[in-house]
Homo-oligomer: A and B are copies of this chain.
Amino acid sequence: MRIGVLTSGGDCPGLNAVIRSVVHRAVADHGDEVIGFHDGWRGLLDCDYRPLDLDAVNGILARGGTILGSSRVQPAHLRGGVEQARGHVKDLGLDAIIPIGGEGTLKAAHLLSEAGLPIVGVPKTIDNDIASTDVTFGFDTAVGVATEALDRLKTTAESHQRVLIVEVMGRHTGWIALHSGMAAGAHAIVVPERPFDIDELTELVGKRFSAGKKFAIVVVAEGAKPREGSMEFNVGKTDQYGHERFAGVASQLAIELEERLGKEARPVILGHVQRGGTPTAYDRVLATRFGWHAVEAAHRGEFGMMTALRGTNIEMVPLASAVEELKTVPAARYGEAECVL
Protein backbone atom coordinates (compact mmCIF):
# COMPACT_ATOMS: atom_id res chain seq x y z
CA MET A 1 0.00 0.00 0.00
CA ARG A 2 1.13 3.57 -0.57
CA ILE A 3 0.04 6.06 2.06
CA GLY A 4 0.35 9.82 2.20
CA VAL A 5 0.27 11.61 5.53
CA LEU A 6 0.03 15.32 6.29
CA THR A 7 -0.44 17.65 9.28
CA SER A 8 -2.58 20.73 8.91
CA GLY A 9 -3.66 23.64 11.11
CA GLY A 10 -2.21 24.95 14.36
CA ASP A 11 0.51 23.32 16.39
CA CYS A 12 -0.59 20.53 18.71
CA PRO A 13 1.50 18.26 20.95
CA GLY A 14 1.32 14.73 19.57
CA LEU A 15 1.45 15.40 15.83
CA ASN A 16 4.85 13.77 15.52
CA ALA A 17 3.67 10.83 17.57
CA VAL A 18 0.90 10.18 15.02
CA ILE A 19 3.30 10.48 12.08
CA ARG A 20 5.73 8.08 13.74
CA SER A 21 2.98 5.63 14.54
CA VAL A 22 1.63 5.67 10.99
CA VAL A 23 5.10 4.97 9.63
CA HIS A 24 5.87 2.26 12.19
CA ARG A 25 2.64 0.43 11.61
CA ALA A 26 2.56 0.84 7.84
CA VAL A 27 6.22 0.35 6.99
CA ALA A 28 7.45 -2.04 9.67
CA ASP A 29 4.35 -4.19 10.04
CA HIS A 30 2.57 -4.00 6.68
CA GLY A 31 5.50 -3.33 4.40
CA ASP A 32 3.75 -0.22 3.07
CA GLU A 33 5.36 2.83 1.61
CA VAL A 34 4.65 6.15 3.30
CA ILE A 35 5.20 9.67 2.05
CA GLY A 36 4.75 12.85 4.04
CA PHE A 37 3.38 16.00 2.43
CA HIS A 38 4.96 19.26 3.51
CA ASP A 39 2.92 22.01 5.16
CA GLY A 40 -0.44 20.28 5.22
CA TRP A 41 -2.74 20.35 2.21
CA ARG A 42 -0.34 22.72 0.49
CA GLY A 43 2.07 19.84 0.08
CA LEU A 44 -0.60 17.71 -1.55
CA LEU A 45 -1.66 20.53 -3.87
CA ASP A 46 1.94 21.31 -4.83
CA CYS A 47 3.05 17.69 -4.85
CA ASP A 48 5.67 18.66 -2.31
CA TYR A 49 6.53 15.65 -0.19
CA ARG A 50 9.25 13.35 1.06
CA PRO A 51 9.41 9.63 1.69
CA LEU A 52 9.05 8.59 5.33
CA ASP A 53 10.91 5.48 6.38
CA LEU A 54 11.65 4.27 9.89
CA ASP A 55 14.77 6.39 10.19
CA ALA A 56 12.85 9.50 9.23
CA VAL A 57 10.68 9.19 12.32
CA ASN A 58 13.41 8.15 14.72
CA GLY A 59 13.39 10.13 17.95
CA ILE A 60 10.32 12.27 17.19
CA LEU A 61 7.79 10.63 19.51
CA ALA A 62 8.33 13.07 22.36
CA ARG A 63 9.05 16.10 20.24
CA GLY A 64 6.57 18.96 19.89
CA GLY A 65 5.63 20.48 16.55
CA THR A 66 5.50 18.49 13.33
CA ILE A 67 8.41 17.33 11.21
CA LEU A 68 6.19 17.76 8.15
CA GLY A 69 5.33 21.39 8.78
CA SER A 70 1.83 22.76 8.66
CA SER A 71 -0.23 25.47 7.06
CA ARG A 72 -3.81 26.66 7.00
CA VAL A 73 -4.26 26.08 3.26
CA GLN A 74 -7.58 24.29 2.51
CA PRO A 75 -8.09 22.64 -0.89
CA ALA A 76 -11.71 23.71 -1.13
CA HIS A 77 -10.74 27.35 -0.81
CA LEU A 78 -8.65 27.15 -3.93
CA ARG A 79 -10.19 27.05 -7.37
CA GLY A 80 -9.69 23.55 -8.66
CA GLY A 81 -8.15 22.46 -5.40
CA VAL A 82 -10.11 19.25 -5.22
CA GLU A 83 -9.27 18.30 -8.80
CA GLN A 84 -5.63 19.07 -8.23
CA ALA A 85 -5.57 16.90 -5.13
CA ARG A 86 -7.27 14.07 -6.96
CA GLY A 87 -4.78 14.31 -9.77
CA HIS A 88 -1.78 14.15 -7.50
CA VAL A 89 -3.18 11.25 -5.55
CA LYS A 90 -3.53 9.38 -8.81
CA ASP A 91 -0.13 10.38 -10.15
CA LEU A 92 1.56 9.39 -6.91
CA GLY A 93 -0.30 6.11 -6.78
CA LEU A 94 -1.60 6.71 -3.30
CA ASP A 95 -3.97 4.16 -1.82
CA ALA A 96 -4.75 6.25 1.23
CA ILE A 97 -4.30 9.73 2.58
CA ILE A 98 -4.16 10.35 6.31
CA PRO A 99 -4.67 14.02 7.11
CA ILE A 100 -4.11 14.95 10.74
CA GLY A 101 -5.90 18.12 11.65
CA GLY A 102 -8.62 20.07 13.37
CA GLU A 103 -12.09 21.06 12.41
CA GLY A 104 -11.15 22.87 9.19
CA THR A 105 -8.87 20.07 8.10
CA LEU A 106 -11.47 17.42 8.78
CA LYS A 107 -14.03 19.41 6.79
CA ALA A 108 -11.63 19.48 3.88
CA ALA A 109 -10.99 15.79 4.40
CA HIS A 110 -14.71 15.10 4.34
CA LEU A 111 -15.06 17.08 1.12
CA LEU A 112 -12.22 15.24 -0.57
CA SER A 113 -13.65 12.00 0.66
CA GLU A 114 -17.02 12.87 -0.84
CA ALA A 115 -15.14 13.57 -4.03
CA GLY A 116 -13.90 10.00 -3.97
CA LEU A 117 -10.45 10.26 -2.46
CA PRO A 118 -9.37 7.49 -0.05
CA ILE A 119 -9.22 9.47 3.20
CA VAL A 120 -8.76 8.33 6.78
CA GLY A 121 -8.76 11.32 9.11
CA VAL A 122 -7.05 11.76 12.44
CA PRO A 123 -8.62 14.49 14.60
CA LYS A 124 -6.34 16.98 16.28
CA THR A 125 -7.05 19.96 18.48
CA ILE A 126 -5.84 21.12 21.83
CA ASP A 127 -9.30 22.62 22.34
CA ASN A 128 -10.94 19.17 22.58
CA ASP A 129 -13.97 20.47 20.69
CA ILE A 130 -14.28 17.87 17.95
CA ALA A 131 -17.47 15.85 18.19
CA SER A 132 -17.54 12.04 18.00
CA THR A 133 -14.35 11.51 19.98
CA ASP A 134 -14.15 11.56 23.76
CA VAL A 135 -10.82 13.35 23.69
CA THR A 136 -8.30 14.62 21.16
CA PHE A 137 -4.55 14.44 21.71
CA GLY A 138 -2.94 17.76 22.58
CA PHE A 139 -5.72 18.61 25.01
CA ASP A 140 -4.11 16.86 27.96
CA THR A 141 -0.82 18.66 27.34
CA ALA A 142 -2.54 22.03 27.04
CA VAL A 143 -4.43 21.42 30.28
CA GLY A 144 -1.21 20.28 31.95
CA VAL A 145 0.69 23.39 30.91
CA ALA A 146 -2.15 25.65 32.02
CA THR A 147 -2.47 23.84 35.33
CA GLU A 148 1.22 24.12 36.05
CA ALA A 149 1.03 27.84 35.35
CA LEU A 150 -2.02 28.19 37.59
CA ASP A 151 -0.25 26.31 40.39
CA ARG A 152 2.57 28.85 40.19
CA LEU A 153 0.27 31.83 39.92
CA LYS A 154 -1.64 30.86 43.03
CA THR A 155 1.26 31.47 45.38
CA THR A 156 2.08 34.76 43.75
CA ALA A 157 -1.54 35.95 43.76
CA GLU A 158 -1.69 35.12 47.44
CA SER A 159 1.55 36.89 48.20
CA HIS A 160 0.47 40.01 46.28
CA GLN A 161 -3.13 39.83 47.54
CA ARG A 162 -4.44 40.12 44.03
CA VAL A 163 -7.06 38.86 41.65
CA LEU A 164 -5.40 37.16 38.71
CA ILE A 165 -7.44 36.68 35.56
CA VAL A 166 -5.78 33.90 33.62
CA GLU A 167 -6.70 33.56 29.97
CA VAL A 168 -6.36 30.07 28.53
CA MET A 169 -7.05 28.82 25.02
CA GLY A 170 -10.53 27.94 23.85
CA ARG A 171 -12.07 30.14 21.19
CA HIS A 172 -15.41 28.37 21.04
CA THR A 173 -15.40 25.96 23.96
CA GLY A 174 -14.31 25.98 27.57
CA TRP A 175 -12.69 22.56 27.87
CA ILE A 176 -9.21 23.81 28.72
CA ALA A 177 -10.61 26.44 31.08
CA LEU A 178 -12.81 23.88 32.83
CA HIS A 179 -10.18 21.20 33.25
CA SER A 180 -7.26 23.45 34.18
CA GLY A 181 -9.51 25.48 36.45
CA MET A 182 -10.73 22.34 38.22
CA ALA A 183 -7.23 20.90 38.40
CA ALA A 184 -5.77 24.03 39.93
CA GLY A 185 -8.70 24.91 42.15
CA ALA A 186 -9.61 28.17 40.43
CA HIS A 187 -12.19 30.31 42.17
CA ALA A 188 -14.14 31.13 39.05
CA ILE A 189 -14.16 29.64 35.56
CA VAL A 190 -15.54 31.54 32.61
CA VAL A 191 -16.32 29.66 29.39
CA PRO A 192 -17.56 30.63 25.92
CA GLU A 193 -20.56 28.31 26.19
CA ARG A 194 -22.11 30.54 28.83
CA PRO A 195 -21.90 34.29 28.30
CA PHE A 196 -21.02 35.60 31.74
CA ASP A 197 -22.80 38.18 33.82
CA ILE A 198 -20.22 40.56 35.22
CA ASP A 199 -22.32 41.18 38.31
CA GLU A 200 -22.41 37.49 39.11
CA LEU A 201 -18.69 37.15 38.52
CA THR A 202 -17.99 40.12 40.75
CA GLU A 203 -20.16 38.64 43.44
CA LEU A 204 -18.53 35.23 43.21
CA VAL A 205 -15.05 36.70 43.56
CA GLY A 206 -16.16 39.27 46.09
CA LYS A 207 -17.58 36.60 48.40
CA ARG A 208 -14.09 35.15 48.68
CA PHE A 209 -12.70 38.44 49.95
CA SER A 210 -15.66 38.90 52.30
CA ALA A 211 -14.83 35.49 53.71
CA GLY A 212 -11.35 36.72 54.57
CA LYS A 213 -9.44 35.24 51.66
CA LYS A 214 -6.71 37.43 50.26
CA PHE A 215 -6.62 36.50 46.61
CA ALA A 216 -8.58 34.92 43.80
CA ILE A 217 -7.81 33.14 40.57
CA VAL A 218 -10.24 33.47 37.69
CA VAL A 219 -9.69 31.21 34.67
CA VAL A 220 -11.23 32.50 31.49
CA ALA A 221 -11.31 30.93 28.05
CA GLU A 222 -10.13 33.32 25.35
CA GLY A 223 -13.51 33.06 23.60
CA ALA A 224 -15.61 33.95 26.64
CA LYS A 225 -17.92 36.92 26.29
CA PRO A 226 -20.20 38.81 28.65
CA ARG A 227 -23.92 38.34 28.50
CA GLU A 228 -25.56 40.92 26.25
CA GLY A 229 -25.71 44.20 28.10
CA SER A 230 -23.77 42.91 31.10
CA MET A 231 -20.73 45.10 30.52
CA GLU A 232 -19.07 47.12 27.81
CA PHE A 233 -16.98 44.67 25.83
CA ASN A 234 -14.81 45.08 22.79
CA VAL A 235 -14.94 41.99 20.64
CA GLY A 236 -12.10 41.78 18.23
CA LYS A 237 -11.35 45.41 18.95
CA THR A 238 -8.39 46.65 16.99
CA ASP A 239 -5.70 48.77 18.54
CA GLN A 240 -4.33 51.99 17.09
CA TYR A 241 -2.33 50.00 14.55
CA GLY A 242 -5.29 48.06 13.26
CA HIS A 243 -4.24 44.88 15.09
CA GLU A 244 -7.02 43.23 16.99
CA ARG A 245 -4.89 40.84 18.89
CA PHE A 246 -3.84 42.59 22.06
CA ALA A 247 -7.06 43.29 23.85
CA GLY A 248 -8.47 40.01 25.04
CA VAL A 249 -11.12 39.12 27.53
CA ALA A 250 -8.70 38.74 30.45
CA SER A 251 -7.43 42.29 30.12
CA GLN A 252 -10.93 43.70 29.93
CA LEU A 253 -12.05 41.60 32.88
CA ALA A 254 -9.06 42.68 34.96
CA ILE A 255 -9.95 46.33 34.49
CA GLU A 256 -13.60 45.73 35.24
CA LEU A 257 -13.03 43.57 38.31
CA GLU A 258 -10.43 45.91 39.73
CA GLU A 259 -12.88 48.77 39.57
CA ARG A 260 -15.78 46.80 40.97
CA LEU A 261 -13.89 44.99 43.73
CA GLY A 262 -11.43 47.66 44.69
CA LYS A 263 -8.71 45.00 44.61
CA GLU A 264 -5.71 44.90 42.35
CA ALA A 265 -6.52 42.67 39.40
CA ARG A 266 -4.06 41.56 36.73
CA PRO A 267 -4.48 39.64 33.51
CA VAL A 268 -2.15 36.78 32.60
CA ILE A 269 -2.41 35.48 29.05
CA LEU A 270 -0.86 32.03 28.79
CA GLY A 271 -0.91 32.02 25.02
CA HIS A 272 1.00 29.77 22.66
CA VAL A 273 2.91 28.02 25.39
CA GLN A 274 -0.18 25.80 25.69
CA ARG A 275 0.18 24.34 22.21
CA GLY A 276 3.88 23.65 21.87
CA GLY A 277 6.49 21.36 23.27
CA THR A 278 6.68 17.78 24.34
CA PRO A 279 3.33 15.99 24.74
CA THR A 280 2.26 14.34 27.99
CA ALA A 281 2.35 10.56 28.20
CA TYR A 282 -1.43 10.56 27.80
CA ASP A 283 -1.25 12.45 24.53
CA ARG A 284 1.60 10.33 23.20
CA VAL A 285 -0.36 7.15 23.83
CA LEU A 286 -3.54 8.53 22.30
CA ALA A 287 -1.70 9.91 19.27
CA THR A 288 0.14 6.63 18.78
CA ARG A 289 -3.10 4.67 18.92
CA PHE A 290 -4.77 7.03 16.46
CA GLY A 291 -1.93 6.57 13.98
CA TRP A 292 -1.99 2.81 14.34
CA HIS A 293 -5.74 2.56 13.85
CA ALA A 294 -5.72 4.96 10.89
CA VAL A 295 -3.36 2.60 9.07
CA GLU A 296 -5.53 -0.37 9.95
CA ALA A 297 -8.63 1.40 8.67
CA ALA A 298 -6.83 2.18 5.42
CA HIS A 299 -5.95 -1.46 5.03
CA ARG A 300 -9.54 -2.43 5.62
CA GLY A 301 -10.61 0.15 3.05
CA GLU A 302 -12.64 2.09 5.59
CA PHE A 303 -12.44 5.51 3.99
CA GLY A 304 -14.36 8.66 4.83
CA MET A 305 -13.85 7.85 8.46
CA MET A 306 -11.68 9.16 11.24
CA THR A 307 -10.22 7.70 14.40
CA ALA A 308 -12.01 8.41 17.65
CA LEU A 309 -11.57 7.57 21.31
CA ARG A 310 -14.69 6.01 22.81
CA GLY A 311 -14.15 5.02 26.40
CA THR A 312 -10.93 3.08 26.24
CA ASN A 313 -11.31 1.95 22.64
CA ILE A 314 -10.30 3.51 19.38
CA GLU A 315 -13.16 3.35 16.93
CA MET A 316 -13.70 4.62 13.41
CA VAL A 317 -16.43 7.22 13.00
CA PRO A 318 -17.69 8.95 9.86
CA LEU A 319 -15.90 12.19 9.05
CA ALA A 320 -19.34 13.64 8.44
CA SER A 321 -20.37 13.23 12.05
CA ALA A 322 -17.22 14.84 13.32
CA VAL A 323 -17.67 18.08 11.45
CA GLU A 324 -21.35 18.62 12.07
CA GLU A 325 -20.96 20.62 15.22
CA LEU A 326 -18.51 21.54 17.93
CA LYS A 327 -18.38 19.47 21.07
CA THR A 328 -19.17 21.99 23.77
CA VAL A 329 -18.92 21.48 27.52
CA PRO A 330 -22.20 19.90 28.66
CA ALA A 331 -24.04 21.75 31.42
CA ALA A 332 -23.68 18.80 33.78
CA ARG A 333 -19.94 19.42 33.88
CA TYR A 334 -20.35 22.96 35.20
CA GLY A 335 -21.94 21.74 38.40
CA GLU A 336 -18.98 19.51 39.16
CA ALA A 337 -16.63 22.45 39.05
CA GLU A 338 -18.79 24.51 41.41
CA CYS A 339 -17.40 27.77 40.15
CA VAL A 340 -18.33 27.93 36.50
CA LEU A 341 -20.37 31.04 35.96
Contact = CB atoms under 8 A, between A and B. Distances in A.
Contacts of A335: 292
Interface stretch (A95-103, A112-120, A141-149, A192-200): A141-149
Q: With a 10 A CB-CB cut-off, give which of A65, A161, A245 has the most chain B CB atoms.
A: A65
A257 B140 CA distance: 33
A225 interface: no
A241 B233 CA distance: 13
A156 B272 contact: yes
Nearest to A160: B11
B160 A10 contact: yes
Q: With a 10 A CB-CB cut-off, give which of A159, A247, A275 has the most chain B CB atoms.
A: A159
Contacts of A161: 69
Contacts of A66: 159
B245 A266 contact: yes
Q: How many copies does the complex hold?
A: 4
Contact of A159 (B28, B65, B151): B65
A132 B249 CA distance: 42
A130 to B, nearest CB: 13
Interface string A262-305: 00001111111101111011101100110011000000000000
A215 B20 CA distance: 19
A159 to B, nearest CB: 4
Given A281-B183, A282-B282, A69 B25 contact: no
Contacts of A281: 140, 143-144, 146-147, 179-180, 183-184
Interface in A288-339: 288-289, 292-293, 310-312, 335-336, 338
Given A134-B312, A182-B285, A336 B292 contact: yes
A282 B338 contact: no
Nearest to A128: B312
Nearest to A180: B281
Nearest to A57: B185
A147 B158 CA distance: 24
Interface of A: 10-11, 20, 24-25, 28-29, 61-66, 69-70, 134-135, 140, 143-149, 151-161, 164, 179-180, 182-185, 214, 241, 243, 245-247, 251, 255, 266-273, 275-278, 280-282, 284-285, 288-289, 292-293, 310-312, 335-336, 338
Given A146-B281, A149-B273, 9 more contacts: A11-B156, A61-B183, A64-B156, A65-B158, A69-B214, A147-B284, A151-B276, A266-B271, A268-B273
Q: Which 8 A-B pairs have the closest CB atoms?
A: A152-B277, A65-B155, A156-B276, A64-B155, A183-B281, A11-B159, A152-B276, A147-B281
